[in-house]
A and B are shown apart, each in its own frame.
Chain A
Amino acid sequence: MKSAVIVFPGINRERDMARALSLVSGREPEMVWHAATALPAGIDLVVLPGGFSYGDYLRCGAIAARAPIMDAVRAHAGKGALVLGICNGFQILCEAGLLPGVLMRNTRLKFICKEVHLRVERSDTPFTRGYNAGDVVRMPVAHGEGNYIADEATIARLEGEGRVLFRYVAPDGSLDPEFNFNGATHAMAGIVNEGGNVMGLMPHPENHVDPAIGPTDGRGLFAGLMEHGSRAA
């Protein structure tokens, strides 16, 4: 599976992402500068990494969402090909209209950097096939704007169509407002688009892939994507 990591000015997780992709797939991703107007040939997976594109000016992800490369990312998504946005990447996908809703300021107004528990809601998607439905996994978060909101009709559709793939939960996997630390609607941490090929996720799976550093719960996401890619190929 060939992947590309899009690099916007102010992004800071692109090397973590590249390392995670290399570790799990054995293949270095292409790093693509935001000013490019086309993706390299043969890319299966496009990743928008985390960070603070354009210093979060105006709104998180707003300016990056209008970068030249985004037309190519939109076309890639339009073909049904895979797009993954982590943290700021999730915010960019929402601003670009590739995912519904918005990530607002955390309800407690704090930037939160810690490890959280996520429940995998289903395993029959390219993004979650490396897990089992109901698995509780640990991933770090580091954001000030992760409070996912959308209008009622959109939330109802996301829930009704099973498009919520990860939720913030207590360590035992139960929904608990105390563990929905950023106030996201229905504790949504990761959602997919209508086609199921574009996912936004606030936590950082790329930071939990190496046993030398800590837990490796993030590997499942990348391993699942690679498995999906090899079957599709």
Chain B
Amino acid sequence: MKARVTVTLKPGVLDPQGKAIEGALKSLGIEGVASVRQGKVFDIELAAKDKKTAEAALKNACEKLLANTVIENYRVEVLG
């Protein structure tokens, strides 16, 4: 079973890297960029056979390691 976990900074947490990327996009003349926030994507393969078990395992993985919930939110998608 394949899954994707997306970890993003919580709103309001300063993201210096996102700011630098935003500045670079603007200097490249890419129009209409209002703001950039950088995050992380994890593509994970699981042995779990059903979606519910997979989601539970991934939520556990996020809480224990993949996200620092002081500053980050996470989203789990089981792709099947």
List A residues at the B interface (Cβ < 8 Å): 58-59, 62-63, 66, 95, 100-102, 104-109, 147, 149-151, 183
Contact = CB atoms under 8 A, between A and B. Distances in A.
A162 B54 CA distance: 45
A96 to B, nearest CB: 11
B70 A106 contact: no
Chain B contact-residue range equals 10 to 19
- What DSSP secondary structure best describes chain B's contact surface? helix
Contact of B17 (A63, A66, A105, A151): A105
Contacts of B13: 104, 149
B42 to A, nearest CB: 9
B65 A66 contact: yes
A149 B20 CA distance: 19
B10 to A, nearest CB: 10
Contact of B16 (A95, A105, A151): A105
B65 A62 contact: yes
Contacts, number: 36
Interface of B: 13-14, 16-17, 20, 64-66, 68, 70-71
- What DSSP secondary structure best describes chain A's contact surface? loop
A62 B17 contact: no
A149 B16 CA distance: 13
Contact of B65 (A58, A101, A102): A58
B71 A104 contact: yes
A107 B14 contact: yes
B16 A59 contact: no
Contacts of A58: 65-66
Nearest to B38: A105
A58 B20 CA distance: 20
A101 B70 CA distance: 7
A64 to B, nearest CB: 12
Contacts of B17: 105, 109
Contacts of B64: 66
Given A104-B71, A105-B16, A183-B16, 16 more contacts: A62-B68, A63-B65, A66-B64, A66-B65, A95-B68, A100-B70, A102-B70, A104-B14, A106-B16, A109-B20, A149-B13, A149-B14, A149-B71, A150-B70, A151-B70, A183-B14
Contacts of A109: 16-17, 20
Contacts of A107: 14, 16
B63 to A, nearest CB: 12
B41 to A, nearest CB: 13
